[in-house]
Structures are given as C-alpha cells and as structure tokens.
Amino acid sequence: MATRYDSTMGVRHGPKFFIDKETLVIILLSQQAYCRRYDLDLLNELKQDGRAKNILALSSLPDSNAIELNTKLADIWLIFPYLLFLQLIAVETSLFLGLSPDNPCPTGEVNRVVKGVHIYPYMQVEQ
C-alpha cells in the first residue's frame, strides 16, 4: 500500500496516473473560495472519470459532496482536524490489514526511532 500527498493542481501533473480501481482518494477541501474552486473541480473530475475506487472529501464548509467538519477554522488551522482524521484512517487500515502501527516493519529495515544518525552541534556561521 502506497500513500502520497500532492496539491490539487499537482495531481494533474503525474500523480493522477497512479489512481486506479483500488485507490482511495482523499481530498482536503480548502475553505478559501478561490482555492476551493480548484479542489471542487478535481473532485468532480475524479468522480466523472470513475478511475478511483473511492473518493472522500473533507470540508469545513457545508457541501453535499464532502464530509463536513463542524468548524469554521481558517485553512491554516484545518491541518489539525484533517490530520487527526487521516491518522485514524491510517491506524484502522493498518489494523484491518493485520499490520501493527506500533511496529510497522518487524524485520527492522524501518525503525520507529532512527538509528545510526549522528546529530552534530549547530554553529551559526558569522556573516
């Protein structure tokens, strides 16, 4: 299972190629009217072309095409409810697939705590 993030406009420049009948696309709709128009264009385009298995949109504004969050936060603050929702999907999906979110790679290639990296003191260079 692969996950990725891209901007609404960026999806059209390559990542849309990865969308297929097994893909869940999650669109985080902007509250800002100008940006939201592009978000909704992409949402409608994906719904019409039928390539994605499921499309889920989150919004802080009423919209019949999206799950509405009960908040009027500015876009910069929407990261918190959006991120919580996305993390819950990740945990539930991991459990559904029989994976352990606390130990995603039991063979040790990937560690929760990065090993073997040295932290060097930062010294500001005088100008």
User: 0.75 cut: is pTM over it?
Assistant: no
Overall domain count for the chain:
1
CATH of the domain at 112: 3.40.50.10490
Q: For the chain, how many residues are written?
A: 127
Task: Say how far apart CA 67 and CA 102 lie, in whole Å.
Answer: 28
Name residue, tokens 């060097």: 120
- Rounded to 5°, angle at Cα 76 from 68 and 84: 55
DSSP string, 65-107: TSEEPS----HHHHHHHHHHHHHHHHHHHHHHTT--TTSS-TT
Q: pLDDT (tens digit, 0 to 9) for every residue of the chain, 127 residues total?
A: 678 888 888 888 888 888 888 888 999 989 888 998 999 999 999 999 888 888 988 888 877 677 777 677 788 888 888 899 999 998 999 899 888 887 777 787 776 677 778 888 888 777 6
Cα–chain-centroid distance for residue 6?
8
In this structure, what token pair is assigned to residue 122? 């930062």
- Range of the structural domain that residue 108 is part of: 1-127
